[in-house]
Amino acid sequence: MATTCVLLCAGLAAVLSSTYSIKKPLNDAVFGAHGDFAISIKYLTILTIFIFSFFFHSLSIRFLNQVAILVNIPNLDPNPSGCVFLTSEHVSEMFEKGIFLNTVGNRLFYAGFSLMLWIFGPILVFFSVLVMVLVLSHLDFVSRNNNKEKLRIVDIRRSSDFTNGGED
């Protein structure tokens, strides 16, 4: 995703810096403003979103690579002063930060990708954002059916622990 963001930023920068004027067959009254100022605002907004997406993906990669290294360090005894330099809590915190940064970077990328359609007019952006909201809400929230299934599995595990006397 970070590489894709850089490529899209380079493409947008090339379009911004070019002097080639694109003929606009779309009607300005229906599809929004296509003046020079409006187009430059659109491109700069999209470019800014992709730059921030690249930034968050790069930080995510940094944290997740560090977690991959720290996971392989053996658990050493504390030094004579009683301090432990590497704890499992520290590693799990870094992992959570990496996943959070990846999520933010993905969301910015998806928003920027939808805004790429803004160049052609607001109607495509509206439908793209509508589809994106529906898909992401389905992925982000657990439905009641899935939640009931998870509770049933937990109840089965608890009942099997009770019948075994708590021993595995």
* 106-121 residue pLDDT tens: 889 888 888 888 877 7
Q: Is the pLDDT of residue 141 over 50?
A: yes
Q: Is the pLDDT of residue 56 over 80?
A: yes
Residue 131 lies in a domain: yes
Q: Is the pLDDT of residue 134 over 50?
A: yes
Per-residue confidence band for 27, with pLDDT thresholds at 50, 70 and 90: very low
Residue 156 lies in a domain: no
Q: Is the pLDDT of residue 99 over 50?
A: yes
Helix then strand then coil, % of the chain, to nearest 5: 75, 0, 25
Q: Is the pLDDT of residue 24 over 50?
A: no
Instruction: Work out the percent of the chain whose per-residue pLDDT is above 70.
Output: 64
Residue 165 lies in a domain: no
Residue 85 lies in a domain: yes
Count structural domains, the chain.
1
Q: Residues near 132 by Cβ (< 8 Å), separated by ≥ 6?
A: 110, 111, 114
Least confident of 5-14, 40-49, 143-152: 143-152
pLDDT at residue 133, rounded to an integer: 87
* pTM for this model (two decimals): 0.67
Per-residue confidence band for 71, with pLDDT thresholds at 50, 70 and 90: confident
pLDDT at residue 41, rounded to an integer: 80
pLDDT at residue 158, rounded to an integer: 61
Residue 136 lies in a domain: yes
pLDDT at residue 148, rounded to an integer: 60
Task: Tell me which residue range forms the domain holding 58.
Answer: 2-141
Residue 162 lies in a domain: no
pLDDT at residue 125, rounded to an integer: 85
Q: Which amino acid is at 109?
A: F
pLDDT at residue 100, rounded to an integer: 94
Residue 161 lies in a domain: no
SS3 of residue 1 by DSSP: coil
Q: Is the pLDDT of residue 15 over 50?
A: yes
What is the rounded CA–CA span in Å between residue 109 and residue 45? 13
Residue 61 lies in a domain: yes
CB count in 10 Å sphere of residue 23: 4
